[in-house]
Structure 1
Amino acid sequence: MNRTVVALLAGTGILLSPAIASAHISVASGPGFANTTQEIVFGVGHGCAGADTYAVRIEIPAGVTSVRPERSDFGKVSVEKNAAGDVTAVVWQKPDQELLEGDIGYYKLAVRFKVPNQPFSTLYFPTHQTCKASDGTISTTDWVGTPTSGAGVEPAPALNIVPARKAGWNKFMVPSAISDLSVYFGDAQIVWKGTAAYSPNPATMEMVKATSGVTELTELQANVEVWVKY
C-alpha cells in the first residue's frame, strides 16, 4: 500500500457517517459481522396506502441461529419454528387499541441472532407487512425481492455480512467477486489491493487519484487478499 496516501488519510481525520435507512422495511443497524452474535434492527419506514402498520412477519433464512427476538413497544412478539425447533419467522402484532389513525409512525423491530460465518455475502429476510386502516380495512405488502426477482417485487431487507474486524488495519481474503465495493466497505477508511485503493469517502479518493503510482480500485475478483483500515 502507498505510504503517502496512508499518511494523508491519517492527517485529515476523515470520518464516515453511517448510511441513512430507506423508507422501505430494511436493516437499519448496519452490516452483520460473520460468526458473531449481534442485535439486528429492522426499520419499518411507513405503513400501507395511508394506513398504520398492524403486524410484521420476518422470515429467518437458513444458517441464522440462536434467534432471540426483542420485545417492542410496537406490540407482542412471537416466533414460528420448524419440526427441528429452529426459528423460521418472527412476528410482531400491534394491539387494535394502539393503532394510529394514519400512516405517521416509524418502527424499529430488533432480533438478536448469530450471523452465519459467510463474510462478503448478503442475507435476505423476506418480510410481510400488514396494515389496518381506521375503518378496519386490511392491506398487506410483501417485501420479498432479491437481485434475481423480476420487476415490480418490493425488495426484502438485506443484511450485508462483513468479517469481524478491529480498529486499524485488517487483512481479509475475499472469497467471491465484488463489483460494488461500497456494499461491503461502506464504512472503511480505505481498502488496498496491491497498488490500487478504494475509499467510500470522495476526499480520500481524490488523494488516491492524485498520488503517483496508485490506481483506483473499482472491483475485486474472487480469492484475492486486501488490506482494509477502519
Structure 2
Amino acid sequence: MRTALHLCVAAAAAALFTAPAAMAHISVSGPAFAGATHEASFGVGHGCDGADTYRVKVQIPSGVTSVRPMDSAFGKAVLEKDAEGNVTAVVWTKPSVEDVLPADTNYYKLTVRFSVPDTPFRVLHFPTIQTCRTADGVETTAEWVDASGDHGSHGTGGDAPAALPAPALMILPPRAPGWNKYTVNEHVHDLSVFKDALIVWAGKAAYSPNPVTRGLIEAEPDTEVLSEIHPGTEIWVKY
C-alpha cells in the first residue's frame, strides 16, 4: 500500500461519498453481515398495472435460518416449510378483499429477521411473487425471480420480455474501524459493496467510492484502479 496515498486517504475521509442504493421494484435492505442476525425489509414499490398489491410471497434461499417474520399493516405473515421443517417462504396477505385499495397508491414494507450464512461476499436472492387485485376482483401476478443479474431482453432480436429481478442481498464479512484483511472467495464485480469504505487494496490495485481518493489512485504512479475482485484474492479494506 502506498504511504503517500494512505495519508491522502485520511485527509479525504471527511468527503466520503456514499452512492444511493439502486432501487428495484421489490427491494431488500442491506447489506447483511456473515454469521450475524439481519433484519431485512422488503419494499414493494408499486402494484401491477394500476392494481393494488394483495399478496406477497418471499422465498427463503438455502442457508438462511432462524427465520422470524413480522406482521405488518399490510397483513399477517404466514410461514411455508418443507418436510424437514425448514422455512422455504414467507407469505403476507391482506386481511380481506375489502382491504384492497381501489388503485395502486401505496408503498408497503414487509420485514423478516433471520440468521445470515457465514459466506462473505455471496449474494442471496429472494425470489418473490407479487399478487395484485383490481377493484372488480381480477388478480394478476408479477414474478420477481430472476437471479441472473441480466435484466434486459433475452432471446433472438431482443423481443422477449425483460425478466423481473429477484431482490438481492449482499453478505459482507464482519468489520472493525480501521484496516480489515479479507480473502475473497466469490467473484465481486460490483465494488459498490464497499460504498462506505475509505479505500480497498488488492495487490497494487486500489478502489475508493470517494471521488477525491479515486482521483489520487488514478494519479499515483505504479498503482492500478481496482475494478473487480476474483476468487482467492486477498484484500485490505479501511473503514
SS in 2 for 1:8: helix
Aligned counterpart, 1:83: 83
Identical-pair percentage: 52
Give unpaired runs (5+ residues) of structure 1: none
Q: Render the CA deviation track for 1:149-181: whole Å, top value 9, x for unaligned.
A: 783321111111111112221110011333332
Instruction: Select 2:164's aligned residue among 154, 157, 163.
Output: 154
User: Aligned letter for 2:232?
Assistant: N
Distance verdict in 2 for CA 1:105–1:148, change over 3 Å: closer
* In structure 2, distance between residues paired with 1:18 and 1:179: 16
Aligned counterpart, 2:235: 226
Contact kept? 2:51, 2:104, Cα under 8 Å: yes
2:134 aligned with 1:124, yes or no? no
- The alpha-carbon deviation at position 221 of structure 1 amounts to 2.3
> 1:34-113, aligned counterparts within 5 Å?
34-95=34-95, 96-113=97-114
Q: Bigger CA drift: 68-77 or 194-203?
A: 194-203
Distance verdict in 2 for CA 1:125–1:229, change over 3 Å: same
* In structure 1, distance between residues paired with 2:54 and 2:19: 29
Instruction: Select 1:163's aligned residue among 162, 165, 173.
Output: 173
Contact kept? 2:18, 2:195, Cα under 8 Å: no
User: Aligned letter for 2:57?
Assistant: R
User: Aligned letter for 2:169?
Assistant: L
Aligned counterpart, 1:180: 190
- The alpha-carbon deviation at position 17 of structure 1 amounts to 2.9
Aligned counterpart, 1:141: 142
Distance verdict in 2 for CA 1:18–1:69, change over 3 Å: farther
Equivalent pairs counted in the alignment come to: 228
Aligned counterpart, 1:208: 217
* In structure 1, distance between residues paired with 2:235 and 2:10: 19
Distance verdict in 2 for CA 1:21–1:74, change over 3 Å: farther
Q: Give TM-score, length-normalised by structure 1.
A: 0.92
Contact kept? 1:23, 1:46, Cα under 8 Å: no
2:226 aligned with 1:217, yes or no? yes
* In structure 1, distance between residues paired with 2:123 and 2:15: 27
Contact kept? 1:16, 1:189, Cα under 8 Å: no
Q: Render the CA deviation track for 1:104-153: whole Å, top value 9, x for unaligned.
A: 11111111001111111111111000011112111110000011778332
CA-based RMSD of the aligned residues comes to 1.8
* In structure 2, distance between residues paired with 1:77 and 1:177: 35
Give unpaired runs (5+ residues) of structure 2: 155-161
Q: Render the CA deviation track for 1:71-99: whole Å, top value 9, x for unaligned.
A: 21111111111111111100111123332
Distance verdict in 2 for CA 1:21–1:214, change over 3 Å: closer
* In structure 1, distance between residues paired with 2:105 and 2:98: 16
SS in 2 for 1:178: coil
User: Aligned letter for 1:219?
Assistant: E
2:26 aligned with 1:25, yes or no? yes
* In structure 2, distance between residues paired with 1:39 and 1:70: 10
